[in-house]
Chains A and B, each alone.
Chain A
Amino acid sequence: MNIYVCLKQVPDTEASILVKDGKSIQEANIKWIISPYDEYAIEEALKLKEKTPGSTVTALCLGPERVHSALRSALAMGADKAVHIESNGYLDDQNTAQALAEVIKADSAFGVIFTGKQAIDNDSYQLHLRLAENLGIPAATNVTAFTVEGQKVKVQREIDEGAKEMIEMSIPCVVAAAKGLNTPRYASMMGIMKAKKIEIKKITLSEIGVNESQNKVQLLKLSAPAEKPQGRVIPGEPADAVKELVRLLREEAKVL
């Protein structure tokens, strides 16, 4: 099976994010990682490949030159091929979905496409489902369990607290991973060495007919949210402090 995984490179979860010019962020001191949900996607793609002889995993990533390190990590984990779609500015979700769909469609035998349920930079929560609609195939998001039975995929996805939907889809389909799906592997030394020798295929947006000027969602402004003023620590013995806390919650904060 020709398995695909779409990943995004994002700032490390611990990074402080500062606004540069009102529309972009200061990138100088940022450590870049694969978006955590996309790591679950890579792991599940690799597991499927191991269970399905003759399969390949192709990692796709859209972004500037720096995303090569994310693709190298995916190759080191065990992906076979990597494709970099070059894009230097902000591309809205409709365009991003179209770009990814164009690349995947070029392979008439694509199978399961894995993604994360969201990328933790723009948190736009829609790319995976748009991609599926674009390709005319089924999709499930927030997936915490995945199995293949013949040409059928069975997934479990979390909906509300503790409740789950059991979903069946035929292949090809899109599966968007959530925490709990698996534990992503670490790259082995051998994997890292092997990854260095694999060529990353580059595709430009113009080659696939996508253009930033077609963006229909425009970013007007990025800003830091207002900081909360520092609160107070209630002094005293536990019993007194608790009494005072309840009084403050009722009378001052009025939340009880």
Chain B
Amino acid sequence: MANIGLYIELKEGVFKKSNRELLSLVRKCGQNGHAVVFCADLQPYLPELRGIQTVIQVKGTDLAYQPDRYAQTLADIIAEFKLDVFCGIFSAQGKDLFPRLAAKAKASLVNDCLAVDPASRKAVKPVYSGKLLAEFQVNDERALFTIRPNVIPVEESPADGQPEIKTFPFNAGPVKTHIVQVVKSAAKKIDLTEAEIIVSGGRAMKNKENFAILEALAAVLNAGVGASRAAVDAEYATADMQVGQTGKVVNPKLYIACGISGAIQHFVGMKTSKIIVAINKDPEAPIFKKADYGIVGDLFAIAPLLQEELKKKL
């Protein structure tokens, strides 16, 4: 039986929702699961970790994220516990951590997987910005995978199956890549790559101020607000809001595109959304060919109506 490890990502102590996808994958694959959590107190997370054979709690006096320390600690854990496969979330931190870990652990890594079979070490991931899918086989002693959020069906943590708990010391060695400060944005924004609903605006928004219309709609849906490249280049929206080939790849259950024509570069960033809604004045806009539901009309009229309608029944 293979030893499968997974990195439980905490964000300021909060258990990231996508961890549940990794846990579901590991519970289902019938291998020997090991969940690694960097924390001073494991108790709050234990209910989520049932059904996993072993939990490795990494303890240290200062567990602040420094990539060199995290990567070295995980490489030590992979060696100590003889983990054959190690998985994580394809998040901002995952993208920073896993390639470093792969190099330190002399392992192969496939990032941004849509499907992983830990036993056979096969994975499917999008390439060419999702225009194609590639299936890879890892023939290395150790295989690392990061998994795109919102792709693996989540199963509830089982009622029993307490894991065996082990502790491991945090490697607080010197840091070469030194994070001296983390600056949070003034406005609390929803992480688009993990968002369940996204409302997105294009060039038709006309200016920065009009994005308030989408923000109001998003607030009713608890949604994130995205933008097309055209809207970002015109400075109606900030670069961190851009969805598409040179922006973020998102995977929500509902994506509402307002005044977005639907160029291929935008489409590849949101095509895996479960449901796509298009609102556009131009009935010939390519977005209508790709949307599940479309309304031909002026977004400045439709978006507020939609907001009212949603408020009514929620």
A→B interface (CB under 8 Å):
11, 13-14, 16-17, 19, 25, 36-37, 92-94, 97, 120-130, 132-134, 137-142, 144, 158-170, 173, 179-180, 216-225, 228, 230-234, 238-239, 241-243, 245-246, 248-250, 253, 255-256
Assess whether A180 is in contact with B239, with CB atoms less than 8 Å apart: yes
Give B267 Cβ to nearest chain A Cβ, in Å: 10
Determine the chain A residues whose CB is within 8 A of the CB of B93 once the complex forms.
Answer: 159
Of B77-85, B207-215, B242-250, the stretch lying at the interface with chain A is B242-250
Bound-state CA distance A127–B177 (Å) is: 17
Check B176 for interface membership: any CB of A closer than 8 A: yes
19 A/B residue pairs, CB under 8 Å, sorted by A: A123-B127, A125-B99, A126-B99, A133-B103, A138-B177, A158-B239, A164-B183, A165-B183, A166-B181, A168-B180, A217-B110, A218-B136, A220-B136, A224-B132, A231-B276, A231-B292, A233-B283, A246-B310, A255-B275
Does B301 sit within 8 A of A, measured CB to CB? yes
Is B182 in contact with chain A by the CB < 8 A criterion? Answer: yes
The reply to whether B187 and A162 contact each other, CB–CB distance below 8 Å, is: yes
**What CA separation (Å) do A133 and B246 show in the bound complex?**
26
Contacts of A173 in B (CB 8 A): 177
The answer to whether A225 and B130 touch across the interface, beta carbons within 8 angstroms, is: yes
> What 5 pairs between A and B have smallest CB-CB spacing?
A162-B185, A133-B103, A126-B99, A161-B189, A129-B99
Which B residue's beta carbon lies closest to that of A159? B92
Which of B111, B128, B298, B301 is within 8 Å of A11, CB to CB? B128
Q: Is the CB of A133 within 8 A of B309?
A: no
Instruction: Determine if B109 and A93 form an interchain contact, defined as CB atoms under 8 angstroms apart.
Output: yes
Query: Chain B contacts of A249 at CB under 8 A?
Result: 254, 275, 277, 293
Q: Is B98 an interface residue (CB 8 A)?
A: yes
B95 in contact with A92 (CB, 8 Å) = no
Instruction: Please measure, in the bound complex, the distance between the C-alpha atom of A137 and the C-alpha atom of B180, giving whole angstroms.
Output: 18
- Take A125-B111, A179-B239 as given contacts and tell me if A130 and B102 are in contact as well, using a CB distance cutoff of 8 Å: yes
B163 is an interface residue with CB less than 8 A from chain A: no
Size of the B side of the interface (Cβ < 8 Å), in residues, is 89
Contact across chains for A216 and B178 when beta carbons are under 8 A apart: no
Select one of A25, A120, A222, A242 contacting B309, CB under 8 A: A242
Instruction: List A contacts of B184 (CB < 8 A).
Output: 162-163
Q: How far is the CB of A169 from chain B (nearest CB, A)?
A: 6
Check A120 against B245 for contact (C-beta < 8 Å): yes
Q: Are B185 and A246 in contact (CB under 8 A)?
A: no
Which residues of chain A come closer than 8 Å to B109, judged between CB atoms?
Answer: 93, 126
| B17 within 8 Å of A (CB atoms) | no
In the complex, per-residue mask of B173-195: 1 if CB is within 8 Å of any chain A CB, else 0: 00011111111111101111000
Does B219 sit within 8 A of A, measured CB to CB?
Answer: no
Contact B254 A255 (CB under 8 A): yes
Whether A169 pairs with B305 at a CB distance below 8 angstroms is no
- Contacts A13-B129, A161-B240, A224-B132 given; does A234 touch B309 at CB 8 Å: no
Tell me whether A162 and B104 are in contact (CB under 8 A). no
Q: Mark B96-130, 1 if CB is under 8 A from A, else 0.
A: 10111011100011111000000000100111111
Decide if A238 touches B301 in the complex (CB within 8 Å). yes
Residues of A within 8 A of B197 (CB): 255
Q: Are B111 and A239 neighbours in the complex by a CB distance under 8 Å?
A: no
Pairwise interchain contact B297-A241, C-beta atoms closer than 8 A = yes
Q: How far is the CB of B259 from chain A (nearest CB, A)?
A: 14
Contacts of B99 in A (CB 8 A): 125-130, 133
Which chain A residues border B182 with CB–CB below 8 Å? 159, 163-166
Judging by beta carbons under 8 Å apart, are B253 and A16 in contact? no
Which residue of chain B is the closest to A154 with respect to CB atoms?
B180
A217–B138 CB distance below 8 A: yes
- What separation, in Å, do the CA atoms of A253 and B252 have in the docked complex? 13
B206 in contact (CB, < 8 A): no
